[in-house]
């Protein structure tokens, strides 16, 4: 931590949890890839969610040799 970065301010890019999370995980504004709203409940008709076409920060870190994991709330849709 001594040689790390101290983050003292932060902001979100949307008023809903899922789009904000999608933006954080991809490093992109969620409006640029169609994730402006929280996805609805699980159903065959529901195609809302974070698209697999979007590259996440975890994927980029893995490509650089880091090990990554998911801990906590996902809520990015119900599609695989």
Does the annotation count 75 as an active-site position? yes
Is the separation of the CB atoms in 18 and 39 below 8 Å? yes
Among 2, 9, 17, 35, the one annotated catalytic? 17
DSSP 18: H
- Catalytic machinery residues: 17, 75
């Amino acid at each position: 931590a001594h040689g790390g970065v101290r983050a003292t301010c932060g902001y979100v890019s949307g008023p809903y949890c899922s789009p904000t999370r999608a933006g954080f995980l991809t490093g992109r504004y969620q409006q640029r890839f169609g994730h402006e709203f929280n996805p609805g409940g699980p159903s065959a008709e529901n195609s809302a969610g974070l698209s697999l076409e979007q590259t996440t920060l975890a994927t980029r870190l893995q490509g650089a040799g880091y090990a990554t994991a998911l801990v906590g709330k996902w809520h990015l849709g119900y599609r695989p």
